[in-house]
Amino acid sequence: MTTVLLSTRSRLIREPQTWVYAVAVVAAVTVVGLHLIAAAPASPHQHAHHEHSLLPAESLQQSQSAVWTSWMWWVLMAAAMMLPIAARGAGRVARASLWPRRHVAMVEYLVGYLAVWALIGLGAIWLVAGLYPAGAPVITAAVALVAAAAWHVTPWRRRMLRRCGSAGFVNVYGWRADWDCAAAGAAFGRRCVITCGPAMVVMAVSHSVLLMAGLAVVLWSERIRGPNPSQRAGHPQQAWGLLTLAVVVAAWGPLLP
């Protein structure tokens, strides 16, 4: 027992970012929970609306509060999907900081990172609400996925992905340390928006948890540690995954949980 505890403790010391994955899981569970609540008993009128759009009808019709609700969904989804991608960078910043503030450094890094996604999400949701006051049609998500698949294999994206790693040259004392960690997270977030943003547009027009899970798997898969790292960026396999999701959405969009 002591050996297991020691081993776990040792691992947590070597991989201080472990809790970031736990936060992502909590965010994912929250998204699923909220989705189940939102999908609970609906009127026949709402059912009819669901057959043509991907968002709950009421959230799109109650203008401003609906936008804020959608934004909250977005932030939760971004946390669930993107925090695992940011975890390694957070761990690097933690190890670059003084030991007592390693977790503070990671929180600052992740706040900077998620702030970028939150801002982008706010803009995207306002835009979608303006374009589709009655909810985005199913085809929008499918088109967005096809566009994301095309973007996925472009050389520009491949190069940007290679440059995604943040350096973590942070101060270790005072407010500059706080600022540097948050700025490092924001810098990584900006690059993530460029590389993964087109795929995440889908989540601005759909709250499907199945789609969220599928997209997350696609985006994580290209970041898995393994051989030939320089050849793996922009791999066509992920593009095929996005196209498959597009087909699924086009065929069964309104039925997707």
Partner 1 sequence: MRTRSDVWKLPHAQGEWPQVLTDYERAVGAMRALDPVDGARPTNPLSWLYQAAIHGRALANGNSDTSDPQWSNCQHGSWFFMPWHRMYLRAFEMVVQHFLGDEQWSLPYWYSIDPDHPESSVLPPAFRDDAPGNQLYTTHRSQRANRGRRLGNFPNLATSVKAALEASAFATDDGTDTFGGGRRDDPSYFGDEQGVLEDVPHGTVHVQVGNDYDPRFGPQPIRRGWMGAFSTAAQDPIFWLHHANIDRLWQMWLDADPAHTNPITESAWADTGFTFPNPTGGPPLTWTIAEVIDTTALGYRYDTTAVPSTVRTPAPVLAGGGGPLEAFIPEPEPKPPPQVVGAAVQVPMIADQRTDVQLTPPAVIGLEAFQEPYERVLLRLEGITGTIAAPAYGIYLNVPPGEPVERYPERLAGTIATFGVPEASRTDADHDGVGLTKVLDITPVRDALAEAGQWDPENLNVAFVPLIPEADDDVLEGLDVPDRPAAVSDLRASRVVVLMA
Give me the residues that bind partner 1 (CB under 8 A), please: 3, 6-7, 9-10, 13-14, 88, 92, 95-100, 155, 159, 161-173, 176, 180, 222-223, 225-230, 232-233
Closer residue to partner 1 (CB): 4 or 40: 4
DSSP run (H or E) holding 102: helix 102-131
Whether 103 and 94 have beta carbons less than 8 Å apart is answered as: yes
Closer residue to partner 1 (CB): 136 or 218: 218
Whether 140 and 208 have beta carbons less than 8 Å apart is answered as: no
* Phi (first) and psi of residue 137, to 5 degrees: -65, 160
Q: How far is the CB of 213 from partner 1 (least distance, A)?
A: 22
Whether 53 and 113 have beta carbons less than 8 Å apart is answered as: no
Closer residue to partner 1 (CB): 173 or 175: 173
Closer residue to partner 1 (CB): 64 or 228: 228
Q: How far is the CB of 152 from partner 1 (least distance, A)?
A: 13
Torsion on CA atoms 218, 220, 226, 232, rounded to nearest 10: 50
Q: How far is the CB of 95 from partner 1 (least distance, A)?
A: 6
Q: How far is the CB of 218 from partner 1 (least distance, A)?
A: 14
SS3 1: coil
